[in-house]
Structure 1
Amino acid sequence: MKKFRKIGVAAVGVLTLTALVSGCGTANTTNSTPSSSAPVPTGNAGTTGKLEIFSWWTGVASSKALKALIHVFNEKYPHVQVINEAVAGGAGSNAHAVLASRMTNNNPPGTFQVHAGNGSLYSWVQAGDLDSLNNLYQSQGWLNKYPKSLLNLITFNGNIYAVPVDMQRANVLWYNPSIFKKYNLTPPTTFSQFFQDAKVLKAHGITPLALANHGNWETTLLFSDVLLGTVGYTDYNKLLHGQMSWNSPGVVQAANTFTKMMQYTNSDASALHWQQADQLVANGQAAMNVMGDWAQGYFKTTLNLTPGKDFGWAPTPGTQGVFSVVSDVFALPSKLSASQKAVALNFLKVLGSAEGQKVFNPLKGTFSPRLDANPSDYDAYSQAAMKSYQKDQLTLCIGQGAVNPGFTTAFENAMAIFVTNHNTKQFIQSIENAAQTNPLS
């Protein structure tokens, strides 16, 4: 596993696709049949017709952000009818099922949301269902606008298959500043400190860690962060790339730490969606919550809270200096007609543009992954996240469609049992079996 390097704006030159894949990161080089690169529309191509945009963005913040992005697109292409095909529920799991059905029945949307990494995106590449976007990147000058470490997460066999629209961090601890100030606490940087804080909070009748687990993915994300904070960046990446056994002592230690953390959570976690866990923190009923920084959009857009005043943030314990990436990217289905592809490619131009991302990300509570993004366009939280993104080591999280989908499903199923019976041995064996059945390398 090669480490991701920081690539500053001044240090980035124009990259060839060969250099992109041979650089740092985790570009996949397994054998699959590369598709041809979709031709970039010229003249009036793609300026009329219909465009179906498929996503799972139905929350208040994300739907407002998508609407704003579509508005930018419509200003440039007023004669294209945009159809928002967002599917609610399951943190994207419902959308994945609908998308799979559509793709199987040769009825793909114009473009669809997926996460960067060797998971869901790569499975569509392997199936031969996506066109590469090499020509688009070259025509738009994007090869030096995104870090190689990010581009390598959407590049397979030398071909780029998606356009990133946002950057999100999965290893974020959100907390209520008023509660922490009242009890003279500081955001925990270690698990020992977390448990010390948790004892103080519990003694005063405050739930230390708000937890939601309506869809199983929430506890998978929490465990991913606990594992990263326990074994460290190097071994964590070995695990995610099939280079280390899931029976290792570090995984066992993480599982035991996770079980101990469950003693300081709310009892109704299985009935709550992630926003409801954030609401507990905002209301002062709970002190902390571990969630990706899409929570920032909920705090700001839905609850009208002020970053740094009404809610605070820190890396999850033990993960300082590491940025766990969740990036929404959009792909181009290969089975579209030529006219449909032209329309979709024009949308992808807007999606990946500085203008489009400037409009989209502040509303969603995320930030632009472009290296030329202006920090002044963002609030205090996003500015801090941008600094981390550009200097810290980047890695993926276990869930969020970033790694082998079969492994992720099996992991979440094992997690659903583990949060109930706390049987570490059974859990470890289940995920070891999942890794053997669904290779991560």
Structure 2
Amino acid sequence: MTNDNTESDSLTRRQYVKAGGAGAATLAIAGCLGGGGDGDDDGETTSPDDGGDGTTQSGDDNGGGSGGELEIVHWWTAGGEEDALQALVEGFEEEYPDVTVNNNPAPGGAGSALDTEIQSRILNEDPPSTFQIWPGKALNTYTESEVLVDIGDSVWGEEMRDAYLEGVKQMSQPAGDYVAVPLNIHRLNNLFYNVSVLEDAGVDPGSLDSPSALLDAMETIASETDATPMAHQTQAPWSSVQLWESVLIGVAGVDVYQDVLDGNVAANEDAVKEALQLVADYSEYFNEDAGSVAWDEANSGVIQGDAAFLHQGDWAAGQYKAAEDFEFGTDWEHVPFPGTGGVYHVVTDSFVMPTSNPSPDATEKWLRYCGSVDGQERFNPIKGSIPPRTDVPDDEFGPFLTAQREDFENSDAQPPSIAHGTGVTPEVKSNVEGAFSSFNGSWNVDSTYNELTNAF
């Protein structure tokens, strides 16, 4: 497996970790798609020098001056996620009133339902205008099948390229051409908590310096309160995969984690098994309905004071922001997952332009807007993420996300994620999810370890 994510050096905001690379299972669709749909037409365009700043040049759109319909397929249906997308769409509609937006969600854990729908539609030569996907290695299935449009000239203008973090640009062009527009950066290694529950239990979150210390804290919460020590969902594997990722970094460090991403699982057997065992131990303190709820439903326990901790990406903060009478610093707080201080474990979302596109002009407008200051300033504060552009003001981000931006800039390492597709190929990600589907039911460390050695 080819993997370009081997660096763990201290990186500045402008040196954000490269998460591109090659090698993946490929859709059996190369050559299946007909002519046209390459995004090049006589409609409205933005020149490379102007692209991405929200300005446009006049021209016809999809024939006769009509902007056409833009179909957006995504998996954002929970709490602040849905609100964030709506804010993005509203800003886009203000900028481009000639385009009609068809908001078409495909909900499912970590994009699983969306992948199935998109690949089926591409095979049937009926792609949407655009769809949500992680950049980096998650794009390999589509770039190797040549079903994404090169948007380097039509979208990635000079202004936009200058404003974006270097590593994010690299993630947007895993096969050389620009094919994606990232619009956010999430941190995965967060430990959120309900302030009152921890105070009632006498647990000091600032003292948690290792994944095993977190286990001790959960034991204390179980004995001192009626609250669930950790809110979690196990009906889909991705939450347990990402929890294991953070535990692995917490017990063994970023270098070992990166080595595992490179496929060297057996060389790190003790660390991998220790992380799996800790997740199995944590499972004794999950909510009883973990196997039948989604992540946001589990997170509602933290909001209601029925649960103490939640390990999740900072999209959880979007749900907290949307909740009534649940204030940052007073009702909820967070610390880096124990043992991962100085690490910013990265998850990024992007949109792409499939070939045989039903609305190329409208799609280019959408992608340029996603890459603009206005789009990212509207979307990220609600989503609970920070922008990949360096010139988006802090004004709208509030104390939590402003602190996250500072943590990003000061972080020592910014590794990509397995569960969210930037760090491994789709094939490896699917294999890992298979291993954790079994793990979620059995909590069998040895058998899961064996599956992981084969997964890579």
TM tier, shorter chain? 0.7 to 0.9
> How far apart, CA to CA, are the structure 2 residues paired with 1:375 and 1:155?
28
CA apart distance, 1:352: 0.9
Whether 1:429 aligns to 2:447 is no
> How far apart, CA to CA, are the structure 2 residues paired with 1:409 and 1:214?
16
CA apart distance, 1:77: 1.8
Whether 1:419 aligns to 2:440 is yes
Q: Cα–Cα, structure 1 residues 217 and 6, in superposed 2: closer, same or farther, change >3 Å? A: same
Listed as ranges, the matches of 1:59-138 within 5 Å are 59-119=78-138, 121-136=139-154, 138=156
Whether 1:174 aligns to 2:179 is no
Return the match for 1:198 from 218, 223, 232. Answer: 218
CA apart distance, 1:206: 3.0
Q: Cα–Cα, structure 1 residues 78 and 411, in superposed 2: closer, same or farther, change >3 Å? A: same
Aligned length: 418
The Cα offsets for residues 151-170 of structure 1, whole Å up to 9 and x where unpaired, read as: 22222233222111122111
> How far apart, CA to CA, are the structure 2 residues paired with 1:87 and 1:304?
30
> How far apart, CA to CA, are the structure 2 residues paired with 1:224 and 1:30?
22
CA apart distance, 1:203: 1.0
Listed as ranges, the matches of 1:16-415 within 5 Å are 25-28=18-21, 40-41=45-46, 42-46=57-61, 48-119=67-138, 121-136=139-154, 138-187=156-205, 188-204=208-224, 205-243=226-264, 245=266, 248-336=269-357, 340-392=359-411, 393-402=413-422, 403-415=424-436
The Cα offsets for residues 318-361 of structure 1, whole Å up to 9 and x where unpaired, read as: 11111111111001112226xx2222111111111001111112
Q: Cα–Cα, structure 1 residues 76 and 195, in superposed 2: closer, same or farther, change >3 Å? A: closer
Given residue 43 of structure 1, which amino acid in structure 2 is its aligned partner? Answer: S
Q: Cα–Cα, structure 1 residues 219 and 246, in superposed 2: closer, same or farther, change >3 Å? A: farther
8 Å CA contact 1:307, 1:379 repeated in 2: no
The ranges of structure 1 where at least 4 consecutive aligned residues each deviate by more than 6 angstroms after the TM superposition are 30-33
8 Å CA contact 2:22, 2:137 repeated in 1: no
Question: What SS does the aligned partner of 1:394 have?
Answer: coil
Return the match for 2:7 from 2, 18, 27. Answer: 2
Given residue 85 of structure 1, which amino acid in structure 2 is its aligned partner? Answer: N
The Cα offsets for residues 211-241 of structure 1, whole Å up to 9 and x where unpaired, read as: 2122221111211211121221112112113
CA apart distance, 1:422: 2.5
CA apart distance, 1:59: 2.2
User: Could you tell me the TM-score, scaled by structure 2's length?
Assistant: 0.85
CA apart distance, 1:245: 3.5
CA apart distance, 1:184: 3.1
8 Å CA contact 2:78, 2:296 repeated in 1: no
8 Å CA contact 1:4, 1:25 repeated in 2: no
Question: What SS does the aligned partner of 2:365 have?
Answer: helix
CA apart distance, 1:244: 5.0
8 Å CA contact 2:210, 2:251 repeated in 1: no
Alignment gaps of 5+ in structure 1: 13-22, 436-441
> How far apart, CA to CA, are the structure 2 residues paired with 1:176 and 1:157?
43
The Cα offsets for residues 57-105 of structure 1, whole Å up to 9 and x where unpaired, read as: 2223222222222222222221211111112233421122111111111
> How far apart, CA to CA, are the structure 2 residues paired with 1:246 and 1:258?
20
Alignment gaps of 5+ in structure 2: 1-5, 31-36, 47-56
Q: Cα–Cα, structure 1 residues 242 and 117, in superposed 2: closer, same or farther, change >3 Å? A: same
> How far apart, CA to CA, are the structure 1 residues paired with 2:257 and 2:280?
19
Given residue 121 of structure 2, which amino acid in structure 1 is its aligned partner? Answer: R
CA apart distance, 1:26: 3.8
Q: Percent identity?
A: 28
Name whichever of 153-162 and 75-84 sits farther off.
153-162
Query: What is the Cα-based RMSD across aligned positions, in Å?
Result: 2.5
